Chain A
């Protein structure tokens, strides 16, 4: 008995020794992907890519959901982890570019090393399929302008990219509506479907899975492919007025990033694995079924793609402040 206990205790104690101290090559243990939102379709998309990358690397890659503070919490947690390549950050545009623009975060996109662009998914404004109060988006906006503060809408969490883009669109029509935040998109979609909310943001994945539940009023992208993904619903390109939502800024996209002090040889291993994972046709097909399109931008296009977006987002960030001020006046 004594011998058995000694063996058990020794074995358990050995597992507690940090594996990194024994590892010579990389990676030797689990790599965590810090995901800035709650569980849902977007997390499923990240898990899909993480699994494919894990197959390339030979270690598991769990996606750790750390929602809160418009995604900045995940960034702060990831930045405080060791710069050893075992923590990857799912860098969505809102916490990466928007929150610093709004003064809610003290980093810039230059503080991270890109591995590869991950995916994009356009989104739209929609109502419940049973809601027949408005024939189109402009009619809904006219009603909203006449009844300030009456309509309720959701963008999932608050101060994220969809919130900012929708606030910009509403501001253009002088529509003041109350944003209702949700921990998980599914909860918000349930309330939208049940008529508790008047309208909300709907991503491609949700539309492709449960399209019958919604009436799409406006696709928030000028790309024809995005309107097509929403069953050729009207898009901002069809409107008579310019909402100031052109370019890459209003698109939901993300880059996978690591801490800027990460050893270059480890960054290279991760880059190669991610590139191979995003190029895998089987994985791309599965992502498409979820409503995601993998982006082919490699790490050397990071500055070129992300840099100009900051300026475009500034105007949209102002719309959030406008919404808050207008609601406080009611």
Chain B
């Protein structure tokens, strides 16, 4: 299945449009990654409306490359300004910034880009080797397994997301509720469809652009410093950075493995994997390496892990159609609009698309290595961009892209409405990712749950009669029980601390 996918994918991959768009995606990803407050998810969201009119593999190459570039771009501002461009790069500044302070900014950025690209390639190998196997195993899955998998995805995201468990579950439930708008597949009746443009529910792109991009821009404006222009010196890394990175090959392999493994787990994501791989690298280092004071190994560990996470996260996304985090959920939304369903059927019926996606992912990491090192001066210059220019351009892109989807003014209202929802949720400390995951997983969960019950001749027992479904039921129960256990334990600890404090 693997060889067949790759061979058939070559035709889709080797087109000028795909190669150019993938490279452009990496460049755009590095720009949005470098700019504090944006990041890979925002980059994918902003370009989603433009990508959905492209051929499938070119579009996916463009969006995935933005994710790859964006996961690395955050290191540039972390190293030069001590401000991580994205949360993914937060751990990179532990050693990246001290390296810059010692006059090794070019080496630090070069190592960050090289480690990202090599870690990303490792993640790509994990993706290529495991996704078809998982898809083959899942080809026997029936509605009960899919219903339980969707539930696992939703619970995991809510449990692991920022903020409290309850808030995560609440925004996830709000996402599920939004997903019910439109036509009910089973009764063929309409639900909450007050306007003919709501017969299909809200357009997923208008939702994600509003919830992530519009609300983020509002937050940027609220934060102030609109005309601040950081002072940065030009930096020009060279390809010798690759050799510097390869000197830490054990660290590179270990951190990439951690990144890819964490990426494949729903809800864990890149930020946790970078801190975990940094902690492991530091624990295994010699004292003279000076972790925290400008150690090359620290940058290698965090950057290789966060880009390997992208490959790992795509395993459940492509093989099962279950997103591991928000960016994967948006990629699934893109795939559905482009006309193909991620999951076992993708590998069985459209191996050329699956193979094409594998190849664009690998190419985007090769492209990251070359483009990243050659164009670093441009990305450093971008850091000087004032917010007063950036915010209007981003909002304009949001509006043009959302309108262009269906030439619909209604979609613009949806985008603005969800922008307001995003602002309110951020203000209340509610995580946004579970809402989008809820919207994506909602139909999968509801339809498969109802389908299972229609197929079943013994009601809910169908979920326990099938072995894989029963295991997933047990996993879901464990997830919920452990989340409740840790929440209670945390509250008790907080209460104990409050009781001990003098006031």
A interface with B by C-beta (< 8 Å): 1, 5, 8-9, 12-13, 15-16, 18, 30, 32, 39, 43, 47, 60, 62-66, 68-70, 73, 76-77, 80, 104, 150, 152, 157-159, 178, 180-184, 186-187, 190-191, 194, 196-197, 209
Interface residues of B in 442-463 (CB under 8 A from A): 443, 447, 451, 454-455, 457
> Chain B: which residue is nearest A150 at the CB level?
B457
Residues on B with C-beta less than 8 A from A13 are: 396
Is B345 located at the chain interface by the 8 A CB criterion?
Answer: yes
Q: Which of B186, B345, B403 contacts A190 (CB 8 A)?
A: B345
Q: Which of A12, A69, A187 contacts B188 (CB 8 A)?
A: A69
- Indicate if the CB atoms of A73 and B183 lie closer than 8 Å: yes
Q: Which of B53, B197, B393, B407 contacts A60 (CB 8 A)?
A: B53
Residues on B with C-beta less than 8 A from A197 are: 455
Is B196 located at the chain interface by the 8 A CB criterion?
Answer: yes
Residues on B with C-beta less than 8 A from A60 are: 53
The 5 closest A-B pairs by CB, nearest first: A68-B183, A186-B345, A73-B199, A196-B142, A39-B339
- Can you sample 18 A-B contacts with CB below 8 Å? A5-B393, A9-B392, A16-B403, A30-B53, A39-B341, A64-B406, A65-B339, A68-B183, A69-B183, A73-B200, A181-B186, A181-B451, A183-B185, A186-B349, A187-B345, A190-B142, A191-B143, A196-B142
Closest Cβ of chain A: how far from B173's Cβ, in Å? Answer: 22
- Indicate if the CB atoms of A178 and B454 lie closer than 8 Å: yes
Closest Cβ of chain A: how far from B203's Cβ, in Å? Answer: 11
Interface residues of B in 346-371 (CB under 8 A from A): 349
Residues on A with C-beta less than 8 A from B399 are: 16
Closest Cβ of chain A: how far from B157's Cβ, in Å? Answer: 22
CA distance A30 to B404 in the complex (A): 11
- Indicate if the CB atoms of B451 and A77 lie closer than 8 Å: no
CA distance A66 to B345 in the complex (A): 20
> Chain B: which residue is nearest A186 at the CB level?
B345
Closest Cβ of chain B: how far from A75's Cβ, in Å? Answer: 10
- Indicate if the CB atoms of B142 and A16 lie closer than 8 Å: no
Residues on A with C-beta less than 8 A from B455 are: 152, 178, 180, 191, 196-197
Residues on A with C-beta less than 8 A from B182 are: 68
Residue tally, chain B, CB below 8 Å to A: 39
Residues on B with C-beta less than 8 A from A187 are: 341, 345
Residues on B with C-beta less than 8 A from A16 are: 399-400, 403
Is B397 located at the chain interface by the 8 A CB criterion?
Answer: yes
Residues on A with C-beta less than 8 A from B393 are: 5, 8-9, 12
- Indicate if the CB atoms of B341 and A194 lie closer than 8 Å: no
- Indicate if the CB atoms of A183 and B443 lie closer than 8 Å: yes
Closest Cβ of chain A: how far from B381's Cβ, in Å? Answer: 10
Closest Cβ of chain B: how far from A290's Cβ, in Å? Answer: 12
Q: Which of A77, A150, A183, A191 contacts B199 (CB 8 A)?
A: A77
- Indicate if the CB atoms of B389 and A5 lie closer than 8 Å: yes
CA distance A190 to B321 in the complex (A): 15
Closest Cβ of chain B: how far from A26's Cβ, in Å? Answer: 16
Given contacts A39-B336, A158-B188, A187-B345, 6 further A-B contacts (CB under 8 A): A66-B199, A68-B182, A69-B199, A181-B451, A186-B341, A190-B345
Residues on B with C-beta less than 8 A from A69 are: 183, 188-190, 199
Residues on B with C-beta less than 8 A from A66 are: 199-200
Residues on B with C-beta less than 8 A from A158 are: 185-186, 188
Is B413 located at the chain interface by the 8 A CB criterion?
Answer: no
Is B130 located at the chain interface by the 8 A CB criterion?
Answer: no
Is B219 located at the chain interface by the 8 A CB criterion?
Answer: no
Interface residues of B in 365-421 (CB under 8 A from A): 389, 392-393, 396-397, 399-400, 403, 406-407
Q: Contacts A8-B393, A158-B186, A181-B186 given: A76-B53 contact, CB under 8 Å?
A: no
Closest Cβ of chain B: how far from A207's Cβ, in Å? Answer: 14
Residues on B with C-beta less than 8 A from A150 are: 457
Residues on B with C-beta less than 8 A from A181 are: 185-186, 451
Residues on B with C-beta less than 8 A from A178 are: 454-455
Q: Contacts A70-B188, A194-B140 given: A43-B397 contact, CB under 8 Å?
A: no
- Indicate if the CB atoms of A9 and B200 lie closer than 8 Å: no
Residues on B with C-beta less than 8 A from A32 are: 406
Closest Cβ of chain A: how far from B50's Cβ, in Å? Answer: 11
Residues on A with C-beta less than 8 A from B200 are: 66, 68, 73, 77
Is B333 located at the chain interface by the 8 A CB criterion?
Answer: no
1/0 per residue B186-204: CB within 8 Å of A? 1011100000110110000
1/0 per residue B28-65: CB within 8 Å of A? 00000000000000000000000001000000000000
CA distance A314 to B190 in the complex (A): 24
- Indicate if the CB atoms of A182 and B339 lie closer than 8 Å: no
- Indicate if the CB atoms of A80 and B339 lie closer than 8 Å: no
CA distance A80 to B195 in the complex (A): 11
Residues on A with C-beta less than 8 A from B389 are: 1, 5
